A and B are shown apart, each in its own frame.
Chain A
Amino acid sequence: MSSATATVGRQVTLMRAFLRYGIEQQTAYRAAYWAHLWNTAVKVFAFVVVWRTLYAVAPDQFPVSRSQMVAYGVVAAITSEVLDWWKGPHYYIAYRVQLGTITGDLLRPISFPFQLFAIWTGESAAALLLVGVPAFGGAAVVLGGAVAPAGVLAGLLAVLSFVVSFAMLFCCSFLVGLVVLKTLNLLGVMHLYHGVLTLLSGFWIPLWFFPAPLRLLADVLPFRGIFFTPLSIYVGELTGTRLELALLHQVVWLGLLILAVRWAWAVMRRRLVVQGG
Chain B
Amino acid sequence: MGAGTATRRAAGHYWLFLKMGIRSQTVYSFDSALLLVAVVFLNVVDLSLLGVILSRFSNLGGWTLWEVVLLYSLYLAALGVQNLFTLHLNLIDTYVRDGTLDQMLVRPVSPLVQMLGKEFHYRNLIHHLGTGLVGIVLAADRLGLTWTPGRLAILVLSILGGSAVLTGIVLGLSSLAFWTVESQVFGYGTLQLQEVVQHYPAHIFGTWFVRLVTFVLPFAFLNYYPVLALVGRAQQAGHPFLAYASPLAGVLAVAAGALVWRAGLRRYQSTGS
Q: Which residue of A lies closest to B127 (CB)?
A: A191
Q: Which residue of A lies closest to B58 (CB)?
A: A57
Which residue in A35, A42, A195, A209 is a CB contact (below 8 Å) of B38?
A195
Q: Say which one of A47-55, A64-72, A232-240, A247-255 lies at the interface with B.
A: A47-55
Best-buried of A45, A46, A189 by chain B (most CB within 10 Å): A46
Quick check: A205 and B196 within 8 Å, CB to CB? no
Residues of A near B205 (CB, < 8 A) are 45-46, 49
Which of chain B's residues 39-53 have a Cβ closer than 8 Å to chain A? 39, 41-42, 44-46, 48-49, 52-53
A189 vs B36: C-alpha distance when bound (angstroms): 11
A35 vs B182: C-alpha distance when bound (angstroms): 13
Residues of B near A3 (CB, < 8 A) are none
Which of chain B's residues 52-101 have a Cβ closer than 8 Å to chain A? 52-53, 56-61
Best-buried of A54, A189, A211 by chain B (most CB within 10 Å): A54
A195 vs B35: C-alpha distance when bound (angstroms): 12
Best-buried of B57, B58, B182, B192 by chain A (most CB within 10 Å): B192
Which residue in B37, B42, B188, B195 is a CB contact (below 8 Å) of A35?
B188
Quick check: A187 and B31 within 8 Å, CB to CB? yes
- A-B pair count, CB < 8 Å, reads 101
**Chain B residue total in the interface (Cβ 8 A):** 37
**Chain A residue total in the interface (Cβ 8 A):** 38
Interface digits, B140-167 against A, CB 8 Å rule (1 contact, 0 not)? 0000000000000000000000000000
> Given known contacts A50-B204, A61-B57, is B48 in contact with A187 (CB within 8 Å)?
no
B positions within 8 Å CB-CB of A: 30-31, 34-39, 41-42, 44-46, 48-49, 52-53, 56-61, 180, 182, 185-186, 188-189, 191-193, 195-196, 200, 204-205
A positions within 8 Å CB-CB of B: 29, 31-32, 34-35, 38-40, 42-43, 45-46, 49-50, 53-54, 57-58, 61, 183, 185, 187-192, 194-196, 198-199, 204-205, 209-211, 214
